[in-house]
Structure 1
Amino acid sequence: MANNRQIETLGVSYLTTFINRHSLLQTYFDSNDKTPVWDGEIHVLKTSSEKRSEIFGKVPVQIKATRQQKNKLKSFSLDISDLELYSKNGGVVLFVVWLSEDGDLRNIYYKSLPPLSIKKLIKKSNLKNKTTSNKKLSVQIHELDEQKLYPMLVDFITNSRKQYSFINVDGISVEDISDDSNLKFYYYGQEKGEIFNYQEENDLFIYYKDPLTGIEVPLENTIKVVETYEETDLIITIGNTIFQNVKRHRFPDGSVQLHFGEGFKMSFDVKKKQFTFNYTRPNMLSKAIKCTQALQELGKFGYCKLNGNTIELDEQSILDITSRDLETEIEELIQISNFMENMGIQKEVDLTYFDKQSLRNLNILNLGLILKKKVALNYNESKLLHLRIANIHIITLYDFETDNIGTMIDIFTETPWCRRGEDSSYISIFEVLEPNDWLKIDNCDFDSVIASYQILVDNQLKYEGANNTILKIVVAADKAEDVSRSELLLNWAQFLSDWNLKYSKNYEMAIINDLQIKSRVRKLNSKEMEILSNILVNSNDNYELCFGSSVLLKSKPQADLFWNKLDNDTKESYKDFPIYTLYMKLS
């Protein structure tokens, strides 16, 4: 009967032969088992070359040989002290060589154990065995074949390198990072669907890219991939509609779906030997129209074409399509689209938010603004209305006439005259809009906003300028969570500020407002800083101008000085101004 040393030697020999059959792998194993923990290493090559530069990495291994009399091996016990040592040194790949009583090879098993896999195993073991002090830990092992070997070793090296520096620090979980964080995971495989089998035997780790350092930090959480997709060059034609953005989705059960048009899913039923279709209307209006029209054609013709090859629908799929009132559905979608086009609204309508109130608002606005008919609303005075259609926000004027009847006025095409009161100065109607209105409005034609101020100048009317409106738009820009919306609002504010610099009655304040817009977009230049310094020097008796100039000059001591000179009422009002936002950021 062979002793333990002979068994280990046989195991190393069988494993060496198995691994060295791969042209990109080289074994450096100790056959006499003198090493206390590690049994050598595997060199993983990029190409079959002897050059050092072609070595992708080295994998430390632990080799165990066993003659256990079982039908199949599922796990193998390792000393926890050994695992802790492996973890601190980059991990290990365990190989278990299963021999017969006669010393013949029965099978080879493996387990990839990068640092965080070991950490997870030990943590799980500690939770299970709180009352006992086990010195060994059972590790699940898996059958090894030639196809698994190289990808598994490459992935081990990748994860080991990325986890090595973080093994002794407190772990970070998915819950600790923001939802918009950049996350990655690494997997080296040959076939598209291999990852589903791979993850049943190996941990998939995710890495968080620190935005400040650019370093990829491993998270303690592991993941399971439930679906993958890939771009294809397939073309699907339904009637006259062509879909080129076809994506192939794969699932753990081996099934495959083709997704196209953001509404269609096509799969093949192997048992029935037929294609099945599933349709969900896209949320975006333009795509919903295109896909619903295509669905109508699909029901009419009963087939589509995949790269020119005809694919016929089964009877049930055709019945499911033709039983829907698609004609009415398309008419309703086109009505929304036509209204948005007539209003000059380019923002895409998200039908997720289209509810009963949206439908009511659509009908009212279409009746009053497009068809130019009188509308009956429950108001007994004229007022600005802020109406929502799905995710589109529209501001319009309701001009009350009598008995809750009035007309709708598009303030961007029929800009009305406004006064603060009798014998008072004229104002643009857009002075009435508050920051939240500017933040949400989607039917804005900003040329009309400029024109509403210019008309005051052209008619030599008494007016004060556009400073208040500019401030409200900048406040809205500061509130905007969407970067593109913030940029749009600042562009609007800048357009109005350009006009304001020509016609404002309070030129110094107009300059400060102009420069606080620019400061949100870029760093102020030396000439602009000089202008602010001159305002500061020449306006000692105007604490508001001095405060604004000091903030934009980023001089906190001076800003504090003039802030403290303002009266309490002015201070309170300034807390709603955008210059105060900049003031609070000074250090």
Structure 2
Amino acid sequence: MHTNTMKERLTVYKISTLAVSPSSHLIPNIPVGDKDVSFDGHIDVFSDNSEKKVNFVGKVPVQVKSTGVQQFSNSNITYIFEMADIANFFKTGGVLLFVGEVNENGEVRLFYKPLLPLEISGILKDFSGQKSRTIRLRPLDETKLYDLCLNFLRMQQQQPLAIIQHKPYTVSDFNSYEISSLGIINQEDLFKEQFALYGIKNNVHIPLSLATLEEIAFDRNVKYEVGDKEYQLFTKIQIQDSNLTLTLEDTFEINIDINKGKFTYGHLEVRTISAQLKLQPFLFDLFSGLEIQFLGQSFELPVFTEVIEEWERHQDFLDDLQSTFSFLNINPNLKLRYDENLLWQLHHLVNLVLHKDYSLVKNFNFGFFTIDLDKYKLVFLKMNGELHNAFSSIVTSLDVEIRCTNGERYKHSPFVKLEESVLATAINLNIEEVQNSFDLFDPFVNETVHIYTDDFCIKCINAYSISGKVELLELANYIYDKSNGTDVEKMESMIVNKLQIKAWKGEELTKEERRLLMGMRRDAIVNGKHTLCACVSILLKDKDEVSMSIDALTSEEQTILKEWPIYKLHLKELGE
């Protein structure tokens, strides 16, 4: 066996040989024998091979150890270093450790460990009572010595001793972070390796701590190739230890245990019709035993005959659902939470729409009829023994009249009978058809018609406050605009309601609108119109005046006001 001096000399020679190779941009200065305290030398790093002073990048301090072996290690190795040396490494901003395995033939395999202030600080804190510490090193042949030295200097600059010693920042001080590692990390070591965690402010990296990955997750459009077919699927990929999880189109999940060669699969609870239809051809191929290639990987499942038969039945059902959704003008990207109840609702819906199965309809008295679908509503009109999509041209063109007690009749929209809860949750709501129905008559022709129209618009605004559907505000505004150029446009209630729509949409009042409202409030105060004063003050965001106006109302008047959407607007402004 070789002497310790010979092993050290062979190891230093191996490092120096790598450093002086063509295009290395390095100059090694690692003597054998006399050494500095805790250090065995350094490697000068240049930006090119000219070795000019102007191209000098920095100096990497090194410590070199060696050990004799019968056979080279196939992976990482460990080596014991003295804590006194590690403390000195911290004082000088880190060190690049080398350990050479030397076999009987004098051949050397090098291993390395960049030890920087952030990691050294943790070692000194956690193992202060010990005289030595075991350090894990990686094979140098997995990377290039120049890249290793250059990255060492870069990360050394990002870890100033003053910040690491005094810790002026915490993780919560940052909104943006970065993790970094000096070396090449193999997949099997990915969740064992410690990374440097930096907080980023104004493009400056602030060292915070060391971090260990618990999982890796990313998403992107992935190309899957099956024979001569190609699928582009949005895929979320999670890697944790030996487990790989693929989530396809936010709809279907495949879990693969790489070590055990096992997998599980299933639909996610929340999904859309469009995503399921997009995935079906791919899933047929997947469970038909065909090889799937993606991201440079491939896998092949055995043939699942029962699953394929189930998929075929599901495909027929999805096709029926697509036709049903299209007929009812339902967005196929609507997210639904699938459980046994929803599946029953969907089957019932298909039977009702495509097969006219009305067995669950109790009677066919003329009027609107709703059915539940998850947390939503579907609205139909019962007419002549059939159900029609409530928001279709057939319903829009119906000749509907308001019958007054005095026998008078006035034309109106069939939709005025819909409740705000239905407007808020109806997924087959077609705003254009509702607008068309109000185009067929004058919604402000007289006081009676006006009252019904205003009531419907208020329900639209209330429905918006429940659902957040901006199109409901647009619908109310569309109807109110039909008063433009008439005396109705100048009515106090019309002004308040049109301006509250603007406020709900987050738009600021113009100077002219504010002057108009302040004039209305003065008149309201003089005439004792406390409800009007409260409404106007809400629009002016005058909280004190709102409070005083409400206090002036009777308890009955307060109850009525608090049911109006403008009072909900007030609560929203208060953050309640």
Whether TM-score is above 0.5 comes out as yes
1:111 to 96, 107, 113: 113
The DSSP-based 3-state class of the residue aligned with 1:141 is strand
Secondary structure class of the residue paired with 2:449: coil
Question: What is the SS of the residue equivalent to 2:427?
Answer: coil
Residue identity matched to 2:26 = Q
Deviations 1:98-149 (A, max 9, x none): 48799977443322334443455456547xxxxxx33543322233226254
Task: Kindly indicate whether the alpha-carbon contact (under 8 Å) linking 1:61 and 1:92 is maintained by their aligned counterparts in 2.
Answer: yes
Equivalent residue for 2:280, pick from 270, 288, 292: 292
AA partner of residue 372 (structure 2): L
Counterpart residue number, 2:213? 223
- What's the secondary structure of 2:15's corresponding residue? helix
2:377 corresponds, among 394, 408, 414, to: 394
> What does 1:284-363 align with in structure 2 at a 5 Å threshold?
284-293=272-281, 317-318=302-303, 320=305, 324-350=309-335, 353-363=337-347
- Residue 459 of structure 2 aligns to a residue in which SS? helix
The structure with the larger Rg is 2
> 1:329-375: per-residue Cα shift (whole Å, max 9, x none)?
22111111111111111242557x33332233234334445555534
Q: Which amino acid aligns with 1:376?
A: L
Q: Give distance in 1, aligned partners of 2:495 and 2:501.
A: 10
1:376 counterpart = 2:360: yes
Q: Give matches, 1:180-219, under 5 Å.
A: 185-186=179-180, 195-196=186-187, 199=190, 202-205=193-196
Match of residue 143, structure 1, among 125, 139, 142? 139
What SS does the aligned partner of 1:376 have? coil
Q: Deviations over 1:440-485 (max 9, x none)?
A: 44222112333455567357543331552243244235xxxxxxxx
Q: Report how far residue 177 of structure 1 moved.
A: 11
Q: For the structure 1 residues 446 and 574, does the alpha-carbon distance in structure 2 shift closer, same or farther, using more than 3 Å as the test?
A: closer
| Paired residue type of 1:355 | D
Q: Deviations over 1:19-77 (max 9, x none)?
A: 343735535757564466795465374x667689988x757534143568898751222
In the TM superposition, what whole-angstrom CA distance separates every residue of 1:367-402 from its partner, at most 9, and x where no partner exists? 44555553425799977535115xx7333257599x
**Structure 2 segments unaligned to the other structure (5+ residues):** none
1:374-523 correspondence to structure 2 within 5 Å: 374-377=358-361, 385-388=370-373, 393-397=376-380, 408-413=387-392, 414=395, 429=415, 432-434=418-420, 440-451=425-436, 457-458=442-443, 461-464=448-451, 465=454, 466-476=456-466, 486=468, 489-503=469-483, 506-518=493-505, 520=506
2:26 equivalent in structure 1: 26
Is the partner of 2:309 in helix, strand or coil?
Answer: coil
The yes-or-no answer on 1:15 pairing with 2:15 is yes
Gaps of 5+ in 1: 127-132, 270-275, 478-485
Q: Do 1:39 and 1:61's aligned partners in 2 also have CA atoms closer than 8 Å?
A: yes
1:450 touches 1:496 (CA, 8 Å); kept in 2? Answer: no
1:516 offset after TM fit, Å?
0.3
Change (3 A) 1:441 1:151: farther
1:584 aligns with 574
Change (3 A) 1:343 1:207: farther
Match of 2:80 in 1: 76
Q: Which range moved further: 337-346 or 67-76?
A: 67-76
The aligned length equals 532
In structure 2, relative to structure 1, the CA distance for the partners of 1:287 and 1:216 (3 Å cut) is farther
Q: TM-score, normalised by structure 2?
A: 0.67
Partner of 1:483: none
Which of 166, 169, 176 is residue 167 of structure 2 equivalent to?
Answer: 169
8 A contact 2:246–2:255 mirrored in 1: yes
Question: How do 1:232-271 and structure 2 match up within 5 A?
Answer: 236=226, 242-244=230-232
Q: C-alpha separation between the residues in 1 aligned to 2:193 and 2:242?
A: 19
8 Å contact 2:26–2:146 — kept in the other structure?
no
User: How many Å apart are 1:294 and its aligned residue?
Assistant: 5.6
